[in-house]
Homo-oligomer: A and B are copies of this chain.
Amino acid sequence: MRRLALFALTLLAAGPAAAYDGLVEKQVFTLDRLVLANGAGLRDVRVGFETYGQLNAAKDNVIVICHHITGNSHAAGRYAAGDPAPGYWDAIIGAGRPIDTDRFFVIATDTLVNPNPKSPQVITTGPATINPATGKPWGMDFPIVSSRDIVAVQKALLDTLGIARVHAVAGASAGAAQAAEWASAYPDIVGRFVSVVGPGVANRAYIVGMLDLWGMPIRLDAKWNKGNYYGSDEPVDGMVQTLKLVTFDGVAFDWADQRFGLAWADKEKNPGQAYRNQFAIEAGLTAAGAARARTFDANSWLYTTRAYQLAQFEAGRIKAPGLFVAVTSDRIFPPFLSKQAVATLRAQGNEAQYVEIESGGGHLDGITGVAAAGRAIADFLR
């Protein structure tokens, strides 16, 4: 009995059309030439991608997953059975899960100018990539990319796979922005889209300002040197503080109470006695930023923030039904943005739904707490 089961498993895992068993591998998509939204041309674009589930013969069971600003194409599964954690949305992507790999062919792509190029989970093309004309990293000479370009690369990958239509596009945060960008850039291709803790379907000055401030610590770091740091000291402090700020904006009051409370970083060192003595949340968020910063590239981060500042969201072009999932305590994209998106789409005759996750965990719950909206997402994808 046991041997039989093992044999069946081996069979399933062997072929190219094997059922998704939770093990994934990174693949690479190469695009010889891309013309960007601003008119600039880019050669030899490479981005990583992962797939979960099987593409059916009609090639009409495709769900595109777009990742958040600090994320990558590892949306679900494990590279090896012993991996400590699966991809970020594993709770809702898999066999029998809301994004059901028994039914759908799910595809997740690393963004162009992904800010995390040193991560083994990321394959991207951006400022840290070698400029063939100079043999050195592009740095700030890399052409400016917009979120429209980010989804255009994903579209090119689908074209290569012969996929003419997608059942749905879904993502959290900046991934939700990409999903909305998909729905407006390719209105006749996108069947429906799911925005989790997203900005809605309108770019806003406040979002542009937030993204600008998320680059501020890097620009303040003297080692950034206007982007010319490759081969010398990198602006690590600026990158750490950027990720500390982003982490902070991404959580909320209850999360901070539960994680840190008002404890001191060192119980012998009272913050009431010396400025250098810290509260636990100060040291804890710095440590979190430092841990994340190791695989980030500062210029790529700046390019990524600019890409989303340039989001177009031509809501009037959107035809697909949209599902908007918001978290009550979200400080980055508060629920009213999702509600406004629903109102905008309904006013133009589209189908749109709003679902709220009641939580004090903040924006981050769009990643770690997404299972709370699993039922709504499953129903919407039917």
Residues of chain A whose beta carbon lies under 8 Å from any beta carbon of chain B: 37-38, 140, 144, 146, 203-206, 208-210, 212-213, 216-217, 220-222, 227, 237-238, 241, 244-245, 248, 251-253, 255-257, 259-262, 270-275, 278-282, 285, 302-303, 306, 309-310, 331, 336-337
B-chain residues with CB within 8 Å of residue A204 when the two chains form the complex: 253, 256-257, 262
B216 contacts A262, CB within 8 Å? no
Can you pick out 8 interface pairs between chain A and chain B where the beta carbons lie within 8 Å of each other?
A: A38-B272, A205-B261, A206-B253, A209-B279, A209-B282, A210-B248, A212-B285, A275-B303
A302 contacts B282, CB within 8 Å? no
Residue of B nearest to A212 (CB): B282
B-chain residues with CB within 8 Å of residue A275 when the two chains form the complex: 140, 144, 227, 302-303, 306
Partner of A205, one of B140, B209, B210, B281: B281
B205 contacts A271, CB within 8 Å? no
Give, as a whole number of angstroms, the nearest-CB distance from A288 to chain B. 11
Chain A interface mostly helix, strand, loop or mixed? helix
B-chain residues with CB within 8 Å of residue A212 when the two chains form the complex: 278-279, 281-282, 285
- State the CA gap A281–B123 with chains docked (Å): 32
Give, as a whole number of angstroms, the nearest-CB distance from A40 to chain B. 8
- State the CA gap A353–B216 with chains docked (Å): 40
A271 contacts B220, CB within 8 Å? no
Give, as a whole number of angstroms, the nearest-CB distance from A379 to chain B. 30
Using known A-B contacts A220-B221, A237-B220, determine if residue A244 contacts B213 with beta carbons closer than 8 Å.
yes
B-chain residues with CB within 8 Å of residue A259 when the two chains form the complex: 205
Using known A-B contacts A217-B220, A279-B309, determine if residue A274 contacts B209 with beta carbons closer than 8 Å.
no
B38 contacts A273, CB within 8 Å? yes
Give, as a whole number of angstroms, the nearest-CB distance from A161 to chain B. 29
B-chain residues with CB within 8 Å of residue A248 when the two chains form the complex: 209-210, 213
B213 contacts A216, CB within 8 Å? no
